[in-house]
Amino acid sequence: MRRSVSTSDAILDVDLLAFERGDAAARRAVVDGVRTSLATGFVYTSHDVGEGLIDDAYGMLAEFFSRPVEEKLTFVAPGS
């Protein structure tokens, strides 16, 4: 039996490129979509970030979180 999915349960697909390249109405629609997605905590996005950059970022995260807690505590996030 297939479960029906209501609009409030759906994961939105938000085109972030429309925010960057679109007019005011397109940017407003992107912002509205992201706000709506915060209710579920998930959103699909399209973007032009290269796969290599994403892989590099995940590599840096893995390297940071593999460090001892004492060492991680010495880092301060900018603006905190």
What separation in angstroms does the CA of 70 have from each of 11, 59, 63? 38, 20, 15
Q: How confident is the model at residue 4 (pLDDT cuts 50, 70, 90)?
A: very low
Contact indicator for 45, 14 with CB cutoff of 8 Å: yes
The one-letter amino acid at 22: G
26-to-14, 29, 32, 63 alpha-carbon distances in Å = 11, 5, 10, 38
User: Can you give the pLDDT at residue 9?
Assistant: 60
pLDDT band at 38 (very low <50, low <70, confident <90, very high): confident
Tokens found for residue 24: 């005011």
pTM of the model: 0.49
Share of the chain above pLDDT 90, in %: 48
